A and B are shown apart, each in its own frame.
Chain A
């Protein structure tokens, strides 16, 4: 890429050879109105808002978002003529369908409305048509209201280019043109994976989520960039909050892991969980859990567990805890309680380590998925694989994988006994990615290690911060032994992970459960210590690639819920040991 110089609005500005005129304007702080443009998606030139005048003697009008910037180009972005044309086009859009802003859930957050204000449109001259168009509210999380749609196609491109799912497209032409779902299906019955990308890119109130409408406009909200705590991909999120309530989870387009993409588990599920929160410590008295206070809780903790011999104590921690919390928990168990008996709640995993990068999947001409399960977690990895196959013509081989909607993209579906067939494919490919699950058997492990150094090797992790935990020295292969005292740091872990521990808990004399919510272990717990939930925590997560990313709290925890680290420090304190 070489530097180029353009003259925009009479000023010399710099750009690079691959830039569009719009890119150069953005780099130089020149504001050009846009509507169908969305950074990261292909530009199509549909809205004509970004028109600019190009040339000096022979002036041509063209769209800045689709026209390549050339060295020496003379461009004007803000002439009276351009603004008049823009204004008429906005007016036409406002007259096309139903844009009665006062009834729209996006009023105040709509790019079309912003433009109308910017161009001082307070009256629409053209005949209003109000075609009667449907609204699709069939989907669990998403509503599509065609009456507000301006046919910019951003949702279609997001569905196709980010999620690589192509559920959405256009149908018909001209004034009858409409967003179409599969072969004219409802969103609920469609191939939609509920990634929610379409919601996030829609500039108007045409696609929106069911949770957040009317609860707050952007200017009343706060935005916190953080990392999804739902699985080990570590997608970048942006939490939208108002008055300490979470309205929405957005993808973070600046995240170099996920580049804006999320899955339903990360975007919607956290907002739909209805669980009973523990707001105060609870102590079991005569078989019943009773509300208590911090003073009493730490006292009991020190008496019961602190009095036991180290070899009788075990600690189990959730992979949803941050590195800082896990580190401190390990020190607490090792140094304060003098026990080596510490492991992850999700149980042991294979020892083989992946050192690859997710972005490299897109550059691979051969992708091999071994023993992986995408039905609940890692769906963004699945999207990357789909994108590589659909957009970059990569070949996909699935070996023993519950690949949930990936099979139709695969060139070969193999059983693990047929692994050797893959060798030849690998020898012919240039860039290979191998993505493996955490429950693979020994011979598969051996087969993978053969390629350890040469390929882009990615190991899926069972928990959000599993890799962080291993890096902090927690044993990958730990199986809990019978313990008299069991300290479970569950944070906001899900029941399907906690279920594995019920038997251990039943066998233990005294069970401490540090958790945000009531769960399947509550019945076995003798002491419950309230813990922060995902949006209240800060610290770092290490994702499956080994990238350590900052976790930022977006809401403040209830008054009596303390930081897990603070709790551990005060326990150590009571025992008379120093923990940092």
Chain B
């Protein structure tokens, strides 16, 4: 293998591609050839470097210098100054929150340990970073029950929103009667403002494949599906490539690692309905039916795909599995809080300086996430509220900023972590104006199977909309409460149940502001056009 004195990593993720990353990479390669540096400097393609605003990003090793955003016109300077003469191009320097010069907090990258550091198109790079070690260990040295025990002891909770213990889910599936069993990776990720699964899959596809095979071994399944949101073209391409490579290396297919264990993975493209991320609707969709949730019980571990026992896990959940197997449950439990081990990947959006993707240990307060990882709120604006957990998450006021962000503590505080989307709003945002797109979203995405959600989401949107126009009625708040509570209590699936959350929490914390819209026909912040 050739030895290079420097590695230049270019972010090739969907955001970067839109902003010309491919052209940047091609120009870079041309320039290096021109200066005859192509034998000394290696250009690598990476997935996201945790950045969505200032892209494309270029990361130069061994110096760990980050340039962003880079344009084609900047390449001359980077090659001539940095790579030829060894002088850093100051005007392009960018700091990445997860690549600190001096660590700001405990650095915890379990899920994203490879993303942005290896070439996702090359299985060799994954292997060089401990890839498929866990699978080898599982297949060669462990019994299925031992794998189940490790996962159970690690306290890993599902990262798709419901925080169900993964070990328990696998155990139920193993015990359930019925053949064949199925493993499904839920990569539908249609929650607005959430794109962590995409970046995990774009940046480290083999990790998910490895985890699914391990899950298959543990529960006694030979077939896996990755259900990928249809819009994620790059993910689909990378996963296809990774499946081929894993096949060629004997990590997938028949006689994995020379054992008698077989596992195949199929890809299923979603068609763009939010509700198809719900596990039973997802299963119906794979079966070729209308994407509508099933009634439960029975749950997928006993009655899943084609009526057979099925594990459905979120991508981020799977991403935790290989490191847990490699390092043991006790290592994993060192991260996070007592009740919730490990880290959580968040996507921070809204009025925040550092928008993008972070991975932090469970239990860090929202205040720290905003101030340290998010670099605070732009301008001199004050914090007003945050919505955690995506569109269906609860609205959190200033007073709750110090609640530790783990599933259990958030639930006790009446909030939820959900899928890990964090929307930060400063004082210029109007609560009614914020509720309008949220309630419209549910009105649009309700599958319409059950009455409370189908009709309730429509009525709620109509009521919010009339309040924002100055047409609110005196009884509107009590109607919103009635409908929301009925949706929460009687909806068939999580969509309808959770659609009530933002409305109820907004009324709880910002009732006065809504009442001013209704009674005085004024938007105190001048946002709504009354």
Question: Residues of A with Cβ closer than 8 Å to B?
Answer: 43-48, 51, 61, 63, 66-68, 85, 88-89, 92-93, 95-96, 125-127, 129, 150-151, 169-170, 172-177
Contact = CB atoms under 8 A, between A and B. Distances in A.
Given A126-B459, A170-B290, A92 B450 contact: no
B457 interface: yes
B485 to A, nearest CB: 8
B448 A61 contact: no
A129 B457 CA distance: 13
A243 B329 CA distance: 79
A372 to B, nearest CB: 32
B209 to A, nearest CB: 32
Contacts, number: 97
Nearest to A48: B490
Given A44-B295, A174-B457, A92 B451 contact: yes
Contacts of B285: none
11 contacts: A44-B449, A45-B450, A47-B450, A48-B490, A67-B297, A126-B483, A127-B463, A151-B454, A169-B290, A173-B445, A177-B448
Nearest to B298: A68
Interface in B176-217: none
B429 interface: no
B164 to A, nearest CB: 15
Contact of A89 (B445, B451, B463, B479): B451
A216 to B, nearest CB: 30
Contacts of B452: 48, 88-89, 92
A350 B216 CA distance: 60
A110 to B, nearest CB: 16
A129 B449 contact: no
A61 B295 CA distance: 12
Given A63-B295, A85-B489, A85-B490, A46 B451 contact: yes
Contacts of A44: 295, 449
Contacts of B450: 45-48
Given A88-B486, A92-B455, A95-B459, A174 B492 contact: no
A96 B295 contact: no
Contact of A96 (B443, B449, B455): B455
Contact of A174 (B290, B446, B489): B446
A67 B297 CA distance: 7
B455 A93 contact: yes
A129 to B, nearest CB: 7
B458 interface: yes
Contacts of B301: none
DSSP majority for the B interface?
helix
A89 B295 contact: no
Contacts of B462: 127, 129
Interface string B246-285: 0000000000000000000000000001010000000000
B170 to A, nearest CB: 23
Given A46-B450, A48-B451, A61-B490, A92 B459 contact: yes
Contacts of B449: 44, 46
Nearest to B458: A175
A169 B288 CA distance: 14
**Most chain B CB atoms below 10 A, which of A48, A66, A170:** A48
Interface in B438-495: 443-452, 454-459, 462-463, 466, 475, 479, 482-483, 486, 489-492
Contact of B444 (A85, A88, A174): A174
Interface size band for B? 20 to 34
A92 B295 contact: no
A115 B457 CA distance: 22
A46 B294 CA distance: 10
Nearest to A177: B448
Contact of B490 (A89, A126, A150, A173): A89
Given A44-B295, A45-B492, A125-B479, A175 B454 contact: yes
Contacts of A67: 295, 297
Given A175-B443, A177-B454, 18 more contacts: A45-B492, A46-B450, A66-B295, A68-B297, A85-B489, A88-B483, A88-B486, A92-B456, A93-B455, A96-B455, A127-B463, A172-B448, A174-B446, A174-B448, A174-B457, A175-B446, A175-B454, A175-B458
Contacts of B459: 92, 95, 126-127
B54 to A, nearest CB: 37
A463 B446 CA distance: 52
A126 B484 CA distance: 13
Contact of A175 (B455, B479, B486): B455
A174 B297 contact: no
A150 B448 CA distance: 11
A170 B452 CA distance: 18
Nearest to B274: A173
Contacts of B448: 151, 170, 172-177
A89 B449 CA distance: 13
A151 B454 CA distance: 10
A174 B445 contact: yes
A371 to B, nearest CB: 36
Contacts of B454: 96, 151, 174-175, 177
A522 to B, nearest CB: 55
B451 A173 contact: no
Nearest to B447: A173
Shortest 6 CB-CB distances between A and B: which pairs?
Answer: A177-B448, A45-B295, A92-B455, A174-B446, A66-B295, A88-B486
A382 to B, nearest CB: 25
Contacts of B447: 173-174, 177
A174 B483 CA distance: 16
Contacts of A43: 295
B492 A125 contact: no
Contacts of B490: 48, 51, 61, 85, 89
Contacts of B445: 173-174
B492 to A, nearest CB: 6
A51 B448 CA distance: 18
A17 to B, nearest CB: 14
A169 B295 CA distance: 19
Nearest to B275: A173
B295 A174 contact: no
Contacts of B475: 125
Contacts of A92: 451-452, 455-456, 459, 483, 486
**Most chain A CB atoms below 10 A, which of B450, B479, B491:** B450
A417 to B, nearest CB: 39
A397 to B, nearest CB: 27
Contacts of A174: 443-448, 454, 457-458
A45 B453 CA distance: 13
A48 B488 CA distance: 12
B458 A88 contact: no
Contacts of B295: 43-45, 63, 66-67
A51 B486 CA distance: 11
A85 B486 contact: yes
Nearest to A126: B459
Contacts of A93: 451, 455
Contacts of A68: 297
A43 B450 CA distance: 13
A89 B459 CA distance: 12
A85 B290 CA distance: 27
Nearest to B466: A127
A206 to B, nearest CB: 15
A173 B292 CA distance: 9
Contacts of B463: 127
Given A45-B450, A95-B455, A173-B446, A126 B479 contact: yes
